């Protein structure tokens, strides 16, 4: 791993560099676009790319459907391996609980969809059912049928 360019006593750094180094986004340009798009908040406020972050600040980062709230533990401007990057922050217990709840809800919602395509017999049964129901509603109603 490369040595960080930050001085040992650095108190702050740019938010786009930090979220990239902490491996929330694959490139700095993707991190920049996410910040500009309102996907990153510091202490509940939308931020600009050049905003300085310090140890102890709380960030809310949205990636796709997941929203993580993390507390900054350390600063680094070098993108290292994932285990090292995970040491830069702590995810709050509330954030973990909420993400797990939403993930389980998404999983339960996906159970309503079939796991496989209908077989030829299944399709014949579906078409037979549709034909029977369409015949029932094909009759044109008029006032003269009374």
Predicted confidence (pLDDT) per residue in 65-93, tens digit: 889 999 999 998 899 999 999 999 999 99
Predicted confidence (pLDDT) per residue in 37-63, tens digit: 999 999 889 999 999 999 999 999 999
Q: How far is CA 29 from CA 19, 76, 100, 123, in A?
A: 11, 17, 29, 48
Beta carbons of 15 and 58 less than 8 angstroms apart: no
Domains of the chain: 13-110 (3.10.290.10)
Overall pTM > 0.75 = no
């Amino acid at each position: 791993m490369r040595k960080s360019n930050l001085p040992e006593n650095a108190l702050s750094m740019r938010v786009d560099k930090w979220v990239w180094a902490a491996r929330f986004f694959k490139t700095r340009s993707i991190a920049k676009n996410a910040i500009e798009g309102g996907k990153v908040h510091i202490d509940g406020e939308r931020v600009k790319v050049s905003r300085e972050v310090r140890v102890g600040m709380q960030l809310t980062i949205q990636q796709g459907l997941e929203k993580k709230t993390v507390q900054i533990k350390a600063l680094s401007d070098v993108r290292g391996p994932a285990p090292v990057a995970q040491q830069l922050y702590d995810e709050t217990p509330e954030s973990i609980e909420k993400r797990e709840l939403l993930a389980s809800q998404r999983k339960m919602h996906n159970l309503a969809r079939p796991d496989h395509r209908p077989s030829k017999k299944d399709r014949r049964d579906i078409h037979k059912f549709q034909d029977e129901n369409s015949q029932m509603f094909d009759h044109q109603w008029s006032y003269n049928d009374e």
